[in-house]
Structure 1
């Protein structure tokens, strides 16, 4: 048996920096990854999708350029060139991670599957490893709903669609979450007809109705079709190779066919192979590992970080998880995820930057609120650059005048959102931002006007 001080299972955005810090602190450490170094973010998520989305935006801009007398021909786009560029960016990121791990002193790297054999022991490549500290960062994968016939058709996931070799003639997307919105708009810009199927009354159910409606309108203007209140009851392959979906919508049965089907119906934690029960690690009803505010599991000395613990499934949250654990263990601090402000972005174009509470979340929590709204056609920078799609919205505590949350649907929406996040962290009131001096002309400058809308409330 190989004895370590610490073992990290999964080389994602928490696992890699945590393993390096543990090794640097003098602890003999092992990191185990069964697939690809860098996890979802580098290989299937942020890095590849945002690279491809950037190309889609260039295609969109080239078409708009014709409005200003600039000739362009986006019809010549080749998907193989797009995926080649994506692969280059991913490989550079992944190889950098591999190199840094190999060069870290006191860190052993295993390319294998790990499975618990006891409270602090694991079987890896047929041998036993043991450590007093074990950290699980195994992430999640696309969920595949149990729809009759789905397993018998060549469906795509958010992972496999990134290596597609043809632009779909008609891409049907099952689900309308963040992944569906990003990839749906991207392929519409590549030239695909896109249809999004959603079981609820509207897409993006976690967002406020006005924000979700604005995003839907933007995508519809780019020829993305939404079918809501839809239940898919059967999937089959037609003789011509197309995929047919049988639907019920408001009690009526319908059929829709597409050249390609993308299943974007959520994600499932990667826990099955870990044999967690042997280690005494409890999981929730959806398979996520249960943790406390310090990211400790039900088993002493075992922690769970990132998507596998059921927290917000964002790269930056996974990275922050590692900071909290590392500082608590190495620096003997007492950090917690309790009351952590959660920012995130959806990289449609324009992008959605979100932080803190939505309007409906604030009302549910019992706050007395004020809501500031400003359409982008009232934002000088948007008018000057010819892009007035979207809106700015902030939720204010009416008693303390503190910002509870914000949604910025705009070009550079994530950057403007980050300004509001810093204000929330610093306890800056909306009135201070309203009267602040921002550089002109910027999108952030319109925070003045956003909060001026509250003057008559």
Structure 2
């Protein structure tokens, strides 16, 4: 049995918040150990955000080539080389990993590749990837455990060896017919990318619309874009059984509002949500509580039930975005220095990187109705934005929610090229408490997508009178 080592700080998981906490503590001269199971730098630069957007951009290039004649370009026959797509992605990932390797070599910081498991409060045993064991006791522990793709409990699904987004990014061949189980953000991004590469694609979604968290008008607009792209979308579909094996031939038996259907495809991608990496690592031995879904229970300062232990990122139930995880780091960092930052009332934007992009910040109409919040809603078709016309990409819209009785911006949704960038403009105004008139009257560069905000906010109806007012 290894002798117990004692350190000041131990980070279990080297993803977004974990690595930044480690770098910050090491910079302060505090002895810090990071335990990472496999991915140097975490999932974002290795298997998630960055590589997926790399592949999505390759798909955008493929689509531009396919429609080159619409832009006055003459090209010959084109075809996707999936090995080339994969190599481009791998080259980017390798560069990112090297950057992280160098940063983990900071003075006072020890990086361990291996699996950690709690033996007792603030005591972790590490099974090193290179062989051997270490036992470490720490004054403070920071959990950054992450999540993994969830596999629904469907007969035959596990036996079909389906792809998750991780394996899909490593494909060196083009699926003949890709079935995507799940019509959320990840499923939609991969569905469109592989359709543009040349696969036949079918999306099977259990719910009544794509992207369950978005307003019906946004979901319907995306479904219309998918129809134009040749993607088959089946809604309200309960998967009853799966047969075959992904990569060869799979058969999907589904129940729809219109009756039973059988779908056959060559490959199967499961994009049906995430589950936390909290099982089997002895959290209960350390006094760390989890909720019914397995996420670590934390307060709004990201402190767990165990003294001296924090949890950050997706394992703590934070929004499943890298930028939210980075803010978790800032909360922990500031509070360790005596601050009072919390997760309460965070304004977290997000963007789905289909083409055109779908971004949102703040409330949408569905949420406003659910919370009984009176709002004014203004929409603008992207055909009214001159930059969209210069690009020839006029599909989509802008939509803003304003407080019914004041000029306060409550939420903004945009389906258009560069939506993620324009979302940041509106988010900044919301954070500053700027009334919508500030954006209405701002001078934006012409012609840009942001200029559309001038047009959108010019059409705002007057506020509704408060109850009792004339």
TM-score of the pair, normalised by structure 2: 0.94
Name the residue aligned to 1:395.
401
How far, CA to CA, are the matches of 1:159 and 1:305 in structure 2? 22
Check the 8 A contact 2:178/2:201 in 1, yes or no: yes
**Deviation string, structure 1 residues 91-119 (Cα, Å, up to 9, x no partner):** 100111011102x1111111111111111
**Deviation string, structure 1 residues 376-412 (Cα, Å, up to 9, x no partner):** 1111111122110111011111223111111111111
How far, CA to CA, are the matches of 1:435 and 1:182 in structure 2? 35
Alpha-carbon distance, 1:238 to partner: 7.7
Check the 8 A contact 2:408/2:435 in 1, yes or no: yes
Name the residue aligned to 2:240.
233
Task: Say if 2:160 is the partner of 1:157.
Answer: no
Check the 8 A contact 1:195/1:225 in 2, yes or no: yes
Task: Say if 2:97 is the partner of 1:94.
Answer: yes
The 1:107/1:70 distance shift into structure 2, 3 A limit, reads same
Task: Say if 2:324 is the partner of 1:317.
Answer: yes
Q: How does 1:429-448 map to 2 (within 5 A)?
A: 429-448=435-454
Name the residue aligned to 2:119.
117
What is the SS of the residue equivalent to 1:287?
coil
Task: Say if 2:418 is the partner of 1:415.
Answer: no
Task: Say if 2:63 is the partner of 1:60.
Answer: yes
Check the 8 A contact 1:59/1:74 in 2, yes or no: no
Name the residue aligned to 1:195.
202
How far, CA to CA, are the matches of 1:285 and 1:238 in structure 2? 32
Alpha-carbon distance, 1:251 to partner: 6.5
Check the 8 A contact 2:175/2:247 in 1, yes or no: no
What is the SS of the residue equivalent to 1:7?
strand
Check the 8 A contact 2:163/2:246 in 1, yes or no: no
What is the SS of the residue equivalent to 2:233?
strand
4+ long deviations beyond 6 Å: none
Name the residue aligned to 2:338.
332
What is the SS of the residue equivalent to 1:440?
coil
What is the SS of the residue equivalent to 1:272?
coil
How far, CA to CA, are the matches of 1:250 and 1:10 in structure 2? 43
Alpha-carbon distance, 1:456 to partner: 6.3
Check the 8 A contact 1:396/1:402 in 2, yes or no: yes
How far, CA to CA, are the matches of 1:153 and 1:251 in structure 2? 26
Name the residue aligned to 2:88.
85
How far, CA to CA, are the matches of 1:127 and 1:449 in structure 2? 62
**Deviation string, structure 1 residues 170-190 (Cα, Å, up to 9, x no partner):** 100000010011000000000
- Show structure 2 runs of 5+ residues with no match: 128-132, 464-470
Q: How does 1:376-391 map to 2 (within 5 A)?
A: 376-391=382-397
Q: How does 1:33-432 map to 2 (within 5 A)?
A: 33-73=36-76, 75-102=78-105, 104-125=106-127, 126-237=133-244, 241-250=248-257, 252-329=259-336, 331-432=337-438
How far, CA to CA, are the matches of 1:68 and 1:12 in structure 2? 42
How far, CA to CA, are the matches of 1:15 and 1:433 in structure 2? 37
Alpha-carbon distance, 1:433 to partner: 1.3
How far, CA to CA, are the matches of 2:191 and 2:434 in structure 1? 37
Alpha-carbon distance, 1:239 to partner: 12
What is the SS of the residue equivalent to 1:444?
coil
2:18 is aligned, of 6, 10, 15, to 15
Name the residue aligned to 1:32.
35
2:6 is aligned, of 3, 6, 19, to 3
TM-score of the pair, normalised by structure 1: 0.97
How far, CA to CA, are the matches of 2:21 and 2:143 in structure 1? 11
How far, CA to CA, are the matches of 1:300 and 1:239 in structure 2? 46
The 1:328/1:74 distance shift into structure 2, 3 A limit, reads farther
**Deviation string, structure 1 residues 44-88 (Cα, Å, up to 9, x no partner):** 111111111111101111222212331124632201000000000
How far, CA to CA, are the matches of 1:240 and 1:422 in structure 2? 45
Check the 8 A contact 1:12/1:40 in 2, yes or no: yes
Check the 8 A contact 1:114/1:273 in 2, yes or no: no
The 1:91/1:255 distance shift into structure 2, 3 A limit, reads same
Check the 8 A contact 1:63/1:73 in 2, yes or no: no
What is the SS of the residue equivalent to 2:164?
coil
Check the 8 A contact 2:246/2:266 in 1, yes or no: no
Q: Which 10-residue stretch deviates more, 271-280 or 415-424?
A: 271-280
Check the 8 A contact 1:62/1:73 in 2, yes or no: no
How far, CA to CA, are the matches of 2:64 and 2:247 in structure 1? 35
How far, CA to CA, are the matches of 1:173 and 1:241 in structure 2? 15
